Structure 1
Amino acid sequence: MKRRELFQLTAAGMGLGIAGVPLHVLAQGKAGGVINAVVQPEPPGLMLGILQNAPTQMVAGNIYEGLVRVDEKLNPMPGLAQSWAMSSDGLTYTFKLQNGVKWHDGKPFSSADVVFSVDTFLRKTHARLRGNLGVIDSITAPDANTVVFKLKHTFGPFLGLFEVGSMPMVPKHIYEGAADFLNHPANSAPIGTGPFKFKEWVKGSYIHLTANESYREAGVPQVKDLYFHVIPDAASRAAAFESGKVDVVPGGAVEFFDVQRLSKLPGVSVTTKGHEFFAPHSWLWLNNRRKPFDNVKFRQAVMYALDREAMAKIAWHGYAKVATGPLNSAVKFHSNKVTHYARDLNKAKALLKESGYDGKPLRLLPMPYGESWMRLAEIIRQNLMQAGVKVEMVSTDVAGWNQRLNEWDYDMAVTYVFQYGDPALGVARNYISSQIAKGSPFNNVEGYSNPKVDALFDAGAKEIDPARRAAIYEEVQKLLVDEVPVAWLHEMQFPTLYRSSKVEGLINSGIGLNDGFARAKLK
């Protein structure tokens, strides 16, 4: 008997639910106002000001809020701020907050919470935001509903910092004066202002959120209870969705080869929307510090050797688009006016010869996120060997993958990163010299350094005129694509499966499920 069949038989026969939740709860429809979703993997915690990994953002993005939301075209929308204005010199931003907002414990939300969140809490806890906060000269609260940010210099993507995963608001009255934010007892029972309140977390089973009945928007949320289920393997997650026990499976939670079959089930839909702000981008880290990757001709040879079209079809079943360079096409200022590397084994072999490659075997570190990623790594290995590059696969678990990249202990490694809507927020970090530091698998891991690239990214961040920013980023894209610091693979398209016979309007922003459940409608 197949594992999927066994899973379905066991659940039905025993009268039990997945992840410890009774089937009568899982089966509730509109009357109960319940949505059952999968979270994969189980988040390490829900304090969004401290943890920013994807599972935490998906769950906690419905508990916490930012001052601004973003639509699918990356335009800012009101969040905890109802309006904002920029001074003519681009150095002052004034936010007017929504009226009557309360924390989940009933305390009022005010500008004092914003100042505390940004200037005290997040400066200490939010590694990705911390660098960008360096642009802020001061944050003040003239009154309870007004916050003023003064900048040291202009910063083009400033409004992109305010979505919930990048700058979540945390309650001053709970955390003020605490000696240790990272281990504060309130982290285990998060208090936000969002449309859902934390209710229960049964480790290894499910996280239960319930509607915030005092939420500021009338009729939001429509859903009474929201369960995020922890299901240990991809086949069981697919079976849970197929059998109707869960309503929503986020992108990447089932193997890509299962998506097409599941999307054809009655009353089921699939969408790739909701990742516009994140713009997931995959590539091969190439360790520029060591031979043969210190030679640009070798790195160009790698690009010509890769059959990225075949990878998109075989590994991702069409849910990927060949990348043209460092910017995902969903990111502002993406340019297609760059060198294009269609597969050409003759060019690859010629460049390998010119580079002086000695035939030494090179280590390839796959991304340990499931079978589809292993298939991708195997195609990469075959492509490179066809061009004459000897490759040894070095498989690890997630912890081992993180450790090797943190310590730069690799030759080539598969990865994907989020780009956060703007080159200054999510792209520059992977190529500028100041981000060469051990301890992160998502900064300048390849060790590439070019003063001209550093200067262009710096100029692009400080410029506020969109036309001038576009010209700057076009130049830096041309330069990077010619120098190939990494081997770009694909613009990832993570398909979300959902039971459209029950739920509609699930994706309603540029960050998808991370703040979408509140405005979803139950049929």
Structure 2
Amino acid sequence: MKKGLLLLISFVFFVGIIAGCSGGVSETQGNEGDSESGSSGGDTLIVGLAGDPQTFNPDARADDFLYPIAQNVFSRLVKLNNNQEIIPDLAEKWEFNDDGTEITFHLNENVKWHDGKDFTSADVKFTLDSIKNNNGYAVSNLKSMEEVSTPDDNTVVIKLSNPDATFFGYLAWYATFILPEHVYSGENWDSGTNIEPIGTGPFKFSEYTTSVNVTLERNNEYFGQVPYVDRLVFSIIPDPNTLVQAFYNGEVDIFGGSPPSSEIEKMKNDPNIEGESKVWPSRQYLVFNFEKEPFNQLEVRQAIAYALNNVEIVSKAQKGDGQVAEHFLSPVYNWAITNEYKIPEYNPEKAKELLEQAGYTPDKNGNYLNITFDVFESGSNADMGTVIKDQLRQVGINVELNILEYATWQQKVKDNADFEMSMLGGYQGPDVGSISPRISSEGSNNLSLYKNTELDELLVKGAQLVTEEERAPIYQDIQRILAEDLPIYPISEWVGYSPVHSYVKGDPSSDEAIQSTGFSEYNYVKIEK
């Protein structure tokens, strides 16, 4: 790829050409500070938000309620759009050295912080060093980052300890927003919501009223597309039913995430509501405790897999919010997928045979096993748990389904490993290698406590190789091991659906916005009532 020819670069493409490539130039992403360009008559855009932000530092800790706000207040070097593509942000172009261990970013010039001070490469170095030194949320994602240098005010060079195909995607994802050193240095790094956020994004912070809203105003000095609306309000509505009703009533213009599964079809059939469904690398899957009976036995894990009918689970429990999982890796990374090692097909008789091979016989009630199944109360988890319980009953596995509050589930399952079978979801991107924390021996989300030296070595190798052609056989081997050992059992792929009213134009999924905005960034939105 020749330098400066593309507006955006997808991460899938990136890993295929990382050696010696250049990032695309963002051709004057918008009106570059033209205060007249965005105005549409003093409009206010209202977006739903399910809870209060915990902090106004988007890099300090995980905070999903801050994340959509942060995408409008702050900027990153590069960012992810709604197609899971990496596009320019503060960096207008970039290039890699020959072995992929050094990335040089060329920054947009004349960028201002919201308080009027100049943004420079020193702020990038401060941010990345602070994430590392203060144990910011992305610290493990950026572990291959060895050194950040700033040859001049508009250039940043990141040196990696080794080629790392996951690194560039992580820069574009979560908790890597560039922060002003003059605001967040010292004790202000993680100061909750006491420090007003100062960024370089399309909107400036205006006010925050706890449990009511966060209000932003248009940044007329934004280096990209100056927003069309004057104000962006995140309306905090924790109760999903209340949020749904507020959306139907027109009190919220953009729902702000996915609605309850029970409402999706109704919204899709409403001519006054628009939205696009997209498969994301986010999945629901079962985990088995390898250190407890009966799931320390392979035959039992296999029996569970053959007993489950993913089509029925998704149809009954997710109601349009999911897609049936068929592979051990997300289908978003189709270049890495092999059909040789797919998830076992539904076969209840095979499930019973495996239970008998494991040494179990049915009791007077016809049950081979009695197990506990712990899930946390969120989204469709409870409904999925109910369908799974019924399917396992049909092959002689009696399930005690425990539906827990998230904090209780985290303490019981994640912190104390006090469970037999559980269910987990979450984002497995922005690279195929992001599955590593969930299945590697020391992975932070390896709830199964599964250990396999060969798998660990393959995960490391897969992240260090350069091209898709080199990486694909590694991840096919990883799928082989997952099929053989079954530390996880994928059930469904998450299908994102973010409804907006039809009078909202230019949302982040739209043709006009998708090549320039993050997936919750609203500077291209116009309200046309």
Q: TM-score band (shorter)?
A: 0.7 to 0.9
Q: What pairs with 1:81-96 in structure 2 (closer than 5 Å)? A: 81-96=91-106
Residue by residue, what CA displacement relative to the aligned partner does 1:42-69 show, whole Å, maximum 9, x if unpaired? Answer: 3333321113343221221211111012
1:457 deviates by: 0.3
Whole-angstrom distance in 1 between the partners of 2:235 and 2:518 = 14
Q: What pairs with 1:295-334 in structure 2 (closer than 5 Å)? A: 295-331=297-333, 333-334=335-336
Alignment partner of 1:161 is 2:166: no
Q: What pairs with 1:167-182 in structure 2 (closer than 5 Å)? A: 167-176=176-185, 178-179=186-187, 181-182=189-190
Residue by residue, what CA displacement relative to the aligned partner does 1:232-273 show, whole Å, maximum 9, x if unpaired? Answer: 322211111111111111333x32111211333342112224
Whole-angstrom distance in 1 between the partners of 2:369 and 2:214 = 49
Whole-angstrom distance in 2 between the partners of 1:171 and 1:196 = 16
Whole-angstrom distance in 2 between the partners of 1:57 and 1:511 = 18
- Contact 2:82/2:519 (<8 A) preserved: no
Alignment partner of 1:47 is 2:57: yes
- Contact 1:59/1:514 (<8 A) preserved: no
Whole-angstrom distance in 2 between the partners of 1:31 and 1:476 = 55
Match of 2:111 among 101, 111, 114: 101
Q: What pairs with 1:318-357 in structure 2 (closer than 5 Å)? A: 318-331=320-333, 333-337=335-339, 338-357=341-360
Relative distance call for 1:216 and 1:382 in structure 2 (3 A) is same
Range with greater deviation from structure 2 (130-139 or 67-76): 67-76
Relative distance call for 1:70 and 1:142 in structure 2 (3 A) is same
- Contact 1:67/1:162 (<8 A) preserved: yes
Q: What pairs with 1:12-31 in structure 2 (closer than 5 Å)? A: 31=41
Whole-angstrom distance in 2 between the partners of 1:272 and 1:511 = 19
Q: What pairs with 1:126-275 in structure 2 (closer than 5 Å)? A: 126-127=136-137, 129-163=138-172, 165-176=174-185, 178-179=186-187, 181-183=189-191, 188-217=195-224, 219-252=225-258, 254-273=259-278
Alignment partner of 1:67 is 2:77: yes
Range with greater deviation from structure 2 (312-321 or 118-127): 118-127
1:305 deviates by: 1.0
Q: Could you say what the CA RMSD is over the residues aligned between the two structures, in angstroms?
A: 2.2
Whole-angstrom distance in 2 between the partners of 1:449 and 1:150 = 31
Relative distance call for 1:270 and 1:134 in structure 2 (3 A) is closer
TM-score between both structures, scaled by the size of structure 1: 0.86
- Contact 2:336/2:471 (<8 A) preserved: no
Relative distance call for 1:175 and 1:241 in structure 2 (3 A) is closer
1:80 deviates by: 0.4
- Contact 1:331/1:421 (<8 A) preserved: no
Match of 1:503 among 502, 505, 508: 505
Q: Which amino acid aligns with 2:260?
A: E
Q: Secondary structure at the match of 2:221?
A: coil
Q: Which amino acid aligns with 1:106?
A: G
**As a proportion of its length, which structure holds more helix?**
1
- Alignment-derived partner of residue 467 in structure 1: 469
How many residues matched?
479
Q: Which amino acid aligns with 1:63?
A: V
Relative distance call for 1:251 and 1:75 in structure 2 (3 A) is closer
- Alignment-derived partner of residue 425 in structure 2: 416
Q: Which amino acid aligns with 1:45?
A: T
Whole-angstrom distance in 1 between the partners of 2:271 and 2:435 = 40
Relative distance call for 1:47 and 1:514 in structure 2 (3 A) is farther
1:509 deviates by: 4.4
Q: Which amino acid aligns with 1:427?
A: I
- Alignment-derived partner of residue 485 in structure 2: 483
Q: Which amino acid aligns with 2:122?
A: A
- Alignment-derived partner of residue 390 in structure 2: 382
Q: Which amino acid aligns with 1:85?
A: E
- Alignment-derived partner of residue 8 in structure 1: none
Q: Secondary structure at the match of 2:328?
A: coil
Range with greater deviation from structure 2 (460-469 or 353-362): 353-362
- Contact 2:247/2:254 (<8 A) preserved: yes
Q: Secondary structure at the match of 1:299?
A: helix
Relative distance call for 1:171 and 1:104 in structure 2 (3 A) is same
Whole-angstrom distance in 1 between the partners of 2:436 and 2:247 = 38
Relative distance call for 1:139 and 1:403 in structure 2 (3 A) is same
Match of 1:517 among 518, 522, 525: 522
Q: Secondary structure at the match of 1:493?
A: strand
Residue by residue, what CA displacement relative to the aligned partner does 1:157-196 show, whole Å, maximum 9, x if unpaired? Answer: 33212215241111111223x14622377x5411111111
Residue segments in structure 1 that go unaligned for 5+ positions in a row? 1-28, 437-442
Residue by residue, what CA displacement relative to the aligned partner does 1:177-230 show, whole Å, maximum 9, x if unpaired? Answer: x14622377x5411111111111111111111111111012x421121111112
Q: Which amino acid aligns with 2:438?
A: N
1:125 deviates by: 3.6
Relative distance call for 1:326 and 1:406 in structure 2 (3 A) is farther
Whole-angstrom distance in 1 between the partners of 2:447 and 2:229 = 42
Q: Which amino acid aligns with 1:352?
A: L
Match of 1:428 among 433, 436, 440: 436
Q: Secondary structure at the match of 1:433?
A: coil
- Contact 1:70/1:511 (<8 A) preserved: no
1:510 deviates by: 9.1
Q: Which amino acid aligns with 2:49?
A: V
Q: Which amino acid aligns with 2:232?
A: L
1:416 deviates by: 0.7
Residue by residue, what CA displacement relative to the aligned partner does 1:365-403 show, whole Å, maximum 9, x if unpaired? Answer: 123114x32111100111111111111111221211222
Relative distance call for 1:150 and 1:198 in structure 2 (3 A) is same
- Contact 2:80/2:87 (<8 A) preserved: yes
- Alignment-derived partner of residue 396 in structure 1: 404
1:454 deviates by: 0.2
Whole-angstrom distance in 2 between the partners of 1:516 and 1:175 = 23
1:155 deviates by: 1.1
Match of 2:377 among 349, 368, 373: 368
- Contact 2:81/2:517 (<8 A) preserved: no
Alignment partner of 1:450 is 2:452: yes
- Alignment-derived partner of residue 116 in structure 1: 126
Whole-angstrom distance in 2 between the partners of 1:352 and 1:190 = 57
- Contact 2:97/2:103 (<8 A) preserved: yes
Whole-angstrom distance in 1 between the partners of 2:356 and 2:173 = 50
TM-score between both structures, scaled by the size of structure 2: 0.85
Residue segments in structure 2 that go unaligned for 5+ positions in a row? 1-38, 362-367
